[in-house]
Structure 1
């Protein structure tokens, strides 16, 4: 039988693979555009540098106007320095920070209404120049008539190119957020539908079991009267099993509604069910229950019996031949909790499957449905507000499941 969880997992990986392909393709294409625009801006910066050289060497006024026109068409920010690093001219920078004329001396009685000239910000130039040096190699232009001296043209990416570099990451982030929200909404809806189906099936099962259970109880009473077998042990065991069916029907009827939790001795509840269970399995498996008899917790007995039953059945199935199952009940006084450890000497669980065993559909048995531990987790966490997990396991040696419930012993002592 195919495992629905494994099938769903494969679909998730397939969708993730296609998502990575789409994201990678988007980034590669954007990178291709960025390189083309960067190459174009490099060419424009080179043209601007050449016009600067022409400005310094030409004396033809008409030609000079054309050169200035070409120079001023550059859209990328640029700084020109001499070989010593002194700034000679700039282009495309923040005009509020690039006033390089020496400001006038401060007046003794300044007019507050008089507009002050902008102040040259050397730190701004240092930051911009450092950015340009980090982004691109400078363009070197020689200065005619100055004995081989040269200027360096530094430039940085235009605002368009910067935005284009950032855009795919913003786009992918928005898509990722949308997909996560959509997936959360879809998962929530799907879980709600599954819960409705589960509740409806459970209640219908309880309803269908009601009639034959009542009939069986009546037939048992008739057998006792007809054969005068009030003390017959076979009929007594038959009666116990029918009562067990009543408990099962009661469990299913409680699904979907908030069960009433009552204060019970954890040891007594567990011990009673283990005693019932041990006579219904092979005598090659021994059972042991240890713990404090006075530890109490909020428990719905029919549902908690179901939890212990599922754990014991899994333990029995894991044991091949002879083995033992031990239940230890202890208190964590610091955190005010009750620990219930169910340990078997079965074939064990690989560490990689510790979380997987609680998922619907996971089973190692050929005829298993993989629902027992999933229901167990639901009943412990949703109905008893506790926790259940694989505490420890070693392949070939055995497994320990741990249930954690709130310890109410102290509350009862205080009330008393």
Structure 2
């Protein structure tokens, strides 16, 4: 009857319950993240609307400023025209209109000179007493704008002017609005990365919430294209930069929220894996402690009756007619001693000694052959005229081969061929134990090494589990089912490392 110490249905129940808990927790976390994203998106929309309103206000202010500048230029041209008319007409001509036009200029600072910069007329200017020529600091002040040059009756005149107080105040106000707008734009409270460039998209006017390295050189174009693809582009007329471009993208918080579900999944998987490994290690430690304790106790319990048997054999040897019987009993006692030694070594760190593995294999198989049915044909394929030196524990390797061989004989029902092939490469030795038995499905390839797994009614299911522990834990090798075919047989492979 087939049974297992592990309940696969229970494992699936725990696995499904675990996944359901993780899924529910993930859904709740995801809902919180979605809500945060929606709230952050609303903040961005409010910011965008506020920026749009401020941008329109700055544009209207700029347009008004430009119109005021044009009107001031027109007024200066009219001033020049009036001056030309006054100088070119007879003294008795009706020129009150033109005189009034010039006199009524209360805002624009004006100086009219001849071609040698001798001051002829000034308005709205404080000229130092005694200064008759436009030179020095006064010339520097009025040279910020190119003068109007004109002729009257063959005489050359120049009209110098500077910005009016109204124009200057308007200019300062516009500068303040523009600076405030740009500052609010790039240093926004929602931490939105913003880049403002000129119309060619090559000169950065201002930026905020973005690394400087991302707006330098070739990276500027990539950053702008990324922002264009995400939110398009705004165009705004600034005093010094007509058709300036505004680019922005989602805040780093929004971007980070997009990756939070994946990060959460990875962290959850990591902790589940960590807990699984921890429980597995704890279980393995517990099994190892139980295993070692059981083996030590078995070796101890066998020791006392074996000692008694040795004494009885020596007593029986006193009679010559018991000699043959005593020899056979001695063989069995030696066998029991070897079993005791095996159990005692399982409970400790067995010593691995470099030795030739070929005679070890021969001894183990010779013992099995002598104790097995004649209907089982043993075939050994071993390298000839060579030695294969490995660090092994002879007692435990023989035990492993016996367990594999006994399983093979049981699988064949005591009738068939058991083949052992010993091969090697430069670093490893391979021992293949094959039978012609009933085989096994692939799903049992790993399960056969689990403690308690057996297909026999009275089996303990410990032989292959013990073999796996001996090979993998003590000899640091590998043991596995190499291949198996139903009703044709199975091959187990042992892989051992050569001494480096």
Indicate the TM-score class for this superposition, using the shorter chain for normalisation.
Answer: 0.7 to 0.9
Secondary structure of the 1:376 match is helix
Instruction: Supply the distance in 2 between the matched residues of 1:266 and 1:205 (Cα, whole angstroms).
Output: 28
Instruction: Describe the superposition over 1:301-353 as per-residue Cα deviations: whole angstroms up to 9, x where unpaired.
Output: 32122111110122122224632111122332x33x43222111122243444
The aligned residue for residue 394 of structure 1 is 485
| 320, 328, 344: which one aligns with 2:435 | 344
For 1:292-311, list aligned pairs within 5 A.
292=383, 294-296=386-388, 297-311=390-404
The question of whether the paired residues in 2 share the 8 Å contact of 1:48 and 1:70 is answered with no
For 1:94-243, list aligned pairs within 5 A.
94=210, 121=216, 123-134=218-229, 136-138=230-232, 154-170=247-263, 173=266, 177=270, 180-181=273-274, 183-220=276-313, 228-232=321-325, 237-243=328-334
State the 1:206 CA deviation. Answer: 0.6
Count residues in correspondence. 378
Structure 2 segments unaligned to the other structure (5+ residues): 66-169, 238-242
Secondary structure of the 1:228 match is helix
1:324 and 2:401 correspond: no
Larger Rg: 2
The aligned residue for residue 92 of structure 1 is 208
- With over 3 angstroms needed to count, the CA separation of the structure-2 counterparts of 1:36 and 1:390, relative to structure 1, is same
The question of whether the paired residues in 1 share the 8 Å contact of 2:354 and 2:392 is answered with yes
Instruction: Supply the distance in 1 between the matched residues of 2:413 and 2:244 (Cα, whole angstroms).
Output: 86
What is the TM-score normalised by the length of structure 2? 0.62
The aligned residue for residue 336 of structure 2 is 245
The aligned residue for residue 314 of structure 1 is 407
Instruction: Supply the distance in 2 between the matched residues of 1:68 and 1:5 (Cα, whole angstroms).
Output: 70
State the 1:39 CA deviation. Answer: 4.3
The question of whether the paired residues in 1 share the 8 Å contact of 2:434 and 2:490 is answered with yes
Instruction: Describe the superposition over 1:267-302 as per-residue Cα deviations: whole angstroms up to 9, x where unpaired.
Output: 332222223223444433221222135434343332
Instruction: Describe the superposition over 1:129-179 as per-residue Cα deviations: whole angstroms up to 9, x where unpaired.
Output: 222123x24377899xxxxxx997642111332333344555555555555
1:288 and 2:379 correspond: yes
The question of whether the paired residues in 1 share the 8 Å contact of 2:423 and 2:431 is answered with yes
The question of whether the paired residues in 1 share the 8 Å contact of 2:409 and 2:415 is answered with no
Structure 1 segments unaligned to the other structure (5+ residues): 99-119, 144-149, 412-416
- With over 3 angstroms needed to count, the CA separation of the structure-2 counterparts of 1:53 and 1:353, relative to structure 1, is farther
For 1:372-411, list aligned pairs within 5 A.
372-406=463-497
The aligned residue for residue 52 of structure 2 is 49
State the 1:209 CA deviation. Answer: 1.0
| 448, 466, 472: which one aligns with 1:357 | 448
| 19, 31, 36: which one aligns with 1:33 | 36
The question of whether the paired residues in 1 share the 8 Å contact of 2:194 and 2:209 is answered with yes
- With over 3 angstroms needed to count, the CA separation of the structure-2 counterparts of 1:93 and 1:122, relative to structure 1, is farther
Q: For the aligned residues, what is the CA RMSD?
A: 4.3
The aligned residue for residue 100 of structure 2 is none
